[in-house]
Amino acid sequence: MIILGIDPGFATVGFGVVEAAGGRARMVTCGAITTPAGDPLPARLLQIDTDMTQLLETFRPQAMAVEELFFNNNITTGISVAQARGVILTAAQRQTVPIFEYSPSQVKQAVVGYGKAEKRQVMEMTRRLLNLKAVPRPDDAADALAIALCHARSSTSRLSALDPATPGTGRYAVRR
């Protein structure tokens, strides 16, 4: 299964493509979509959409795993990230790629085995699980790989007996 992991952002969108089979995973590629700080909001959102569409068409993932939005104290940044996240989800929906969303603690639990793990622990376990020489850079790309690994591990659990009723809605129906 080819999984596209996404760490949503506005200035930087981390992505990681993982191939998972038989309880093992390998990194196909990772990187970041960046948007110029001086560009207006609509231009930046269009850049994210264009690059996401290219990623989806190039790698043809069977699933896209996206980290749920986490708001910190800066609501203005959160709104921009939410808009970018909407563009990311729309691009996947347009390509009919099933979307799976995970909270930061779910990602930590799946990768490290502890839902309150520190970022450095998640990055190191991601490196080890993918048998990489170094932690991928930028951090957003490493985070995206961890999100893809989270889905790879979750999709082989009992959760795999569930199918999305409507891709991207978070509602599930039991497979018959």
Residue 7 is a catalytic residue: yes
For residue 39, pLDDT beyond 50: yes
pLDDT tens-digit series, residues 101-136:
999 999 999 999 998 999 999 999 999 999 999 999
Residue 51 is a catalytic residue: no
Residue 140 is a catalytic residue: yes
The proportion of the chain whose per-residue pLDDT surpasses 90, expressed as a percent, equals 76
Which residue among the candidates 51, 67, 101, 143 is catalytic per the annotation?
67
**In terms of pLDDT, which residue wins out, 22 or 76?**
22
Cis peptide before 138 (omega within 30 of 0): yes
The CATH number of whichever domain residue 100 belongs to comes to 3.30.420.10
Kindly state the average pLDDT of the residues 6-17: 96
pLDDT at 23: 86
pLDDT at 138: 95
pLDDT at 154: 87
Domain containing 49: what range? 2-174
Which residue among the candidates 49, 51, 101, 140 is catalytic per the annotation?
140
- Give the Å distances, CA to CA, from 39 to 15, 35, 65: 22, 8, 28
Which residue among the candidates 7, 49, 51, 143 is catalytic per the annotation?
7
Rounded distance between C-alpha atoms, residue 4 and residue 99, angstroms: 10
Q: Name the pTM for this structure.
A: 0.86
- Residue the block writes with tokens 């190039």: 58
Q: How far is CA 86 from the centre of its chain?
A: 13
What's the structural domain count of the chain? Answer: 1
pLDDT at 142: 96
- Label residue 137 by pLDDT band (50, 70, 90): very high
